[in-house]
Chains A and B, each alone.
Chain A
Amino acid sequence: MITALTVLLGCQLAGEVAARLLGLPLPGPVLGMLLLFVLLLGRVRLAEPVREPAQGLLRYFSLLFVPAGVGLMRHAGRLRAEVLPIAIALVVSTAVTVAVTALVFQLVARAKGER
């Protein structure tokens, strides 16, 4: 457990430092994910004990968004004043994005002749 946490936080830390040093437009945790992926590909011993705790953490991924979600209350004024344009744009745009992404994925996957 502690080894796993050390590896995860170590990769995140390396990612945060790299993002700032190199001025990359990516957040540290995303770079940390890439780093851990490379470590796993290289079969680095340290990465092995990470598997189970990582999967455990991902089972509760949605819980981790609750504090940020409560932050919606800080924008109650504007959200109320522009409720219709905001709500319609967010809902319709998100639905259309899901549909377009999934349909294009399916179309290209089929055109490539797999499945």
Chain B
Amino acid sequence: MGPVERVWVYLSATPLLWLAATLLAYEMGSWIFRCAGGSPLANPVPIAVAILIALLHATGTPYETYFEGAQFVHFLLGPATVALAVPLYQNRVQVRQALVPMLTALVAGSATAILSAVALARWLGASSETLKSMAPKSATTPIAMAISEQIGGLPSLTAAFVIATGIVGAVLVTPLLDALRIRDWRGRGFSAGVAAHGLGTARAFQVNELAGTFAGIGLALNGVATAILVPILLGWLR
């Protein structure tokens, strides 16, 4: 065994390599994001994901091996979600004032997310498994996967759709809301959280703390709304 192979044998057995690679890819994504003048089209997450998938392909590394390292980053999603309570608390007065607009927008947005995805994909000839897996795509991953399982979709495919939705939402939310001339940070953030869960929320926090707070509420509320609405709406569409 040559020295290069020895190094590779060591690296492929430790979580260190892919944990470091995840952080490095994100740093590269952030660097490109800054070079692009903070353009939402250069979101660091899809850039990092593309770099890492290319690397894993090039080295013939399976996702499971990658995840052994990356799980330490992934694990922090839980405590970070709990941490959303802090901006929620700090902005509680504004949140209470906006309760009625939020709940109305939630019902409209949640139903739109489910119906438009399923109707469009069906019209374009997607398979039944794909449709069912796509229905809860705007909810946060654990809720979406549970719903998918309940209605006969594929939970892991749902997770892929949820992430793809989040990436799409994070990229298009700023230009789209600018085009619609919506300037209220509360409505902007809330729509990002409802449509694009945690990734929309992360994007909202990049722009404005109040928007991020409302996005966090949108994320939490739409998890519940999607769990209630998907079984009802899919029954209608049949």
Contact = CB atoms under 8 A, between A and B. Distances in A.
Interface of A: 5, 8-9, 11-12, 15, 25-30, 32-37, 40-41, 50-51, 53-55, 57-59, 61-75, 78-79, 82, 84-86, 88-106, 108-109, 112, 114-115
Given A67-B71, A74-B160, A89-B124, A94 B63 contact: no
B210 interface: no
Contacts of B39: none
Interface residues of B, number: 109
B105 to A, nearest CB: 4
A55 B104 CA distance: 29
Interface of B, secondary structure class, is: helix
A67 to B, nearest CB: 4
A7 B134 CA distance: 35
B58 interface: no
Interface of B: 22-23, 25-26, 43-46, 48-49, 52-53, 56-57, 63, 66-67, 70-71, 73-74, 76-89, 92, 97-98, 100-102, 104-106, 108-109, 112-113, 116-118, 120-121, 124-127, 130, 134, 137-138, 140-143, 146, 156-157, 159-161, 163-170, 172-173, 176-177, 180, 182, 184, 186-188, 190-192, 194-196, 198-199, 201-203, 205-206, 212, 216, 218, 220, 223-224, 227
A62 B13 CA distance: 27
A73 B199 contact: no
Interface of A, secondary structure class, is: helix
